[in-house]
Amino acid sequence: MSYSLGVDTKITLLAAGLIFLLALVLGVWKYRQIMAAADHRAHPYVDIAHRAALLYSFATLLLAVFVELSAWPTWINLTAAGVVVFFFVGAILSYIAHGARRDTVNQFENPAPGAGLFMTLLIAGEIGGFSVLLAGFVAGQF
């Protein structure tokens, strides 16, 4: 039996794989901090970056399933998934930055300028992007 995945699905799967690879690398960083620290703990944002990358990699894998089963055209699926993945990666990168700088244990305590706007866009992008894919799945499968 042979089955060919759509290019939108292939790209989304590649994103899932790259995010998972990032999670593995972040795990090494976390381990090194754990071993070097007197209390054997990594900085909270190193821990958060590692865990978020693991979770987002599997969430992106789930997106790929909805992309593949969606009735929408490739460009719509790829755009919707791309928006969600963009914000997943943006969140991970912000956690990495805080972990590298060791500047806070709560990024919302003294938020950077534009943080509120970014969070609003993140919420709209992630929920909106996935809603498009879910609607495409419903349209194509029911």
- pLDDT, tens digit, 9 for 90 and up, residues 33-90: 999 999 999 999 999 999 999 999 999 999 999 999 999 999 999 999 999 999 999 9
Quick check: 3 pLDDT over 80? yes
* pLDDT value at residue 2: 79
Q: How far is CA 116 from CA 41, 60, 99, 122, 123, in A?
A: 30, 24, 20, 10, 11
Domains of the chain: which residue ranges?
Answer: 7-141
Quote the pTM value. 0.94
pLDDT bin (cut points 50, 70, 90) of residue 30 is very high
Amino acid (one-letter) located at 46: V
Could you say which architecture CATH assigns to the domain 7-141? Answer: Up-down Bundle (1.20)
